[in-house]
């Protein structure tokens, strides 16, 4: 099945398979923040993120969103469609937190009247700077039509995830999506996990995501486990 390692990112390793149309994403226990400047390991983190991602991809597929998810091949390994990745990080924001509160005079906790979609250029080398449509098109990353479609998909995904997570007592503050192309279609890629979402507990407002690592507010494994218990109770 798994053949050659294709590349190793900060939290996942991607392998080729004997089918050129499919790859395997292995969710690792390593985690980084601030463009890789802060690094660590947390046991079972890869497992929890893989299972949370699986569950959210399955939910979105059932709601008509095309994702790259095919199947799990082990606890931490996800079989996915091989895509041509679009180098844009799409960040839907419902409540102000993180970089938007540092870059602009917007107070943390401000609830946006409608979701704010931020586009970043996916490039560690350039520090993931914010993009707009013209810059992305000029760099040849995507077409205007593709970006319009991606924004529409991101809004739909945000609405679906917000409701789903709220039913598990989680507030979806913001999150990061990546997309790719497959046979002329735009497909949701990467992962949706505690690494890529800001989740606040509905009652206490406590961060239940990678912010506990970024800002040192708690134990990563037990935080991610708490989210997994709510979203994938069947693994416990
Ligand atoms: P930010 O506030 O740091 O811009 O992050 C916004 C959201 O995007 C947050 O939920 C975390 C997620 N994110 C990633 O998944 N990868 C990244 O490299 C960054 C910077 C943020
Ligand atoms: N994922 C990015 C990094 O590892 C940034 C972050 O999530 O804070 O540096």
Per residue, the 3-state secondary structure of 67-107, as one string, reads ECEEEECCCCEEEEECCEECCEEEEEEEECCCHHHHHCCCC
Q: How far is the CA of 10 from the centre of ligand 2 (A)?
A: 8
Q: How far is the CA of 196 from the centre of ligand 1 (A)?
A: 6
Q: What is the mean pLDDT of the chain?
A: 97
Task: Please report the pLDDT score of residue 203 as a whole number.
Answer: 98
Cut 0.85: pTM above it = yes
Stretch 42-68: mean pLDDT, rounded? 98
Residue 221: burial class (beta carbons within 10 Å; 0-12, 13-18, 19+): middle
From 8, 31, 35, give the residue whose CB has the most ligand 2 atoms within 8 Å, as the site to mutate.
35
pLDDT at 161 over 90: yes
The response to whether residue 121 sits with its C-beta less than 6 Å from ligand 1 reads no
The response to whether residue 197 sits with its C-beta less than 6 Å from ligand 1 reads yes
Q: How far apart are CA 100 and CA 121, in angstroms?
A: 15
Q: How far apart are CA 62 and CA 176, in angstroms?
A: 20
The response to whether residue 98 sits with its C-beta less than 6 Å from ligand 1 reads yes
The response to whether residue 158 sits with its C-beta less than 6 Å from ligand 1 reads no
Stretch 25-31: mean pLDDT, rounded? 97
Task: Please report the pLDDT score of residue 48 as a whole number.
Answer: 98
Q: How far is the CA of 100 from the centre of ligand 1 (A)?
A: 10
User: What residue's CA is closest to ligand 2, atom 7?
Assistant: 33
Which ligand ends up closest to the CA of 129? Answer: 1
Which ligand ends up closest to the CA of 32? Answer: 2
Per residue, the 3-state secondary structure of 12-26, as one string, reads EEEEEECCCCEEEEE
Specify whether the CB–CB gap between 161 and 155 falls below 8 A.
Answer: no
Can you tell me which atom of ligand 1 is nearest the CA of 197?
10
From 27, 31, 33, give the residue whose CB has the most ligand 2 atoms within 8 Å, as the site to mutate.
33
Specify whether the CB–CB gap between 195 and 228 falls below 8 A.
Answer: no
3-state secondary structure of 28: coil
- Tens digits of residue pLDDT in 117-127: 999 999 989 99
Percent of the chain whose pLDDT exceeds 90 = 95
Stretch 194-207: mean pLDDT, rounded? 98
Task: Please report the pLDDT score of residue 217 as a whole number.
Answer: 78
User: Whose structure tokens read 């969710």?
Assistant: 27
């Amino acid at each position: 099945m798994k053949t050659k390692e294709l590349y190793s990112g900060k939290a996942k390793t991607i392998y080729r398979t004997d089918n050129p149309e499919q790859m395997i994403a292995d969710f690792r226990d390593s985690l980084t923040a601030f463009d890789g400047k802060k690094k660590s390991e947390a046991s079972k983190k890869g497992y929890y993120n893989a299972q949370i991602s699986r569950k959210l991809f399955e939910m979105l597929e059932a709601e008509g969103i095309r994702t790259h998810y095919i199947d799990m091949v082990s606890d931490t390994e996800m079989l996915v469609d091989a895509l041509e990745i679009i180098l844009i990080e799409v960040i839907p924001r419902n409540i102000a937190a993180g970089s938007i509160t540092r870059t602009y005079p917007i107070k943390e906790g401000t609830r946006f009247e409608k979701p704010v979609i931020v586009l970043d250029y996916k490039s560690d080398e350039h520090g993931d700077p914010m993009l707009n449509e013209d810059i992305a098109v000029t760099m040849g990353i995507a077409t205007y039509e593709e970006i319009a479609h991606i924004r529409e998909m991101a809004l739909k995904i945000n609405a679906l995830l917000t409701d789903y997570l709220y039913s598990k007592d989680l507030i979806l503050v913001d999150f990061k999506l990546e997309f790719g192309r497959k046979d002329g279609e735009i497909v949701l890629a990467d992962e949706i996990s505690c690494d890529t979402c800001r989740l606040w507990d509905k009652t206490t407002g406590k961060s239940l995501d990678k912010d506990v690592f970024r800002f040192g507010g708690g134990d990563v494994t037990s935080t991610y486990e708490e989210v997994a218990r709510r979203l994938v109770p069947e693994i416990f």
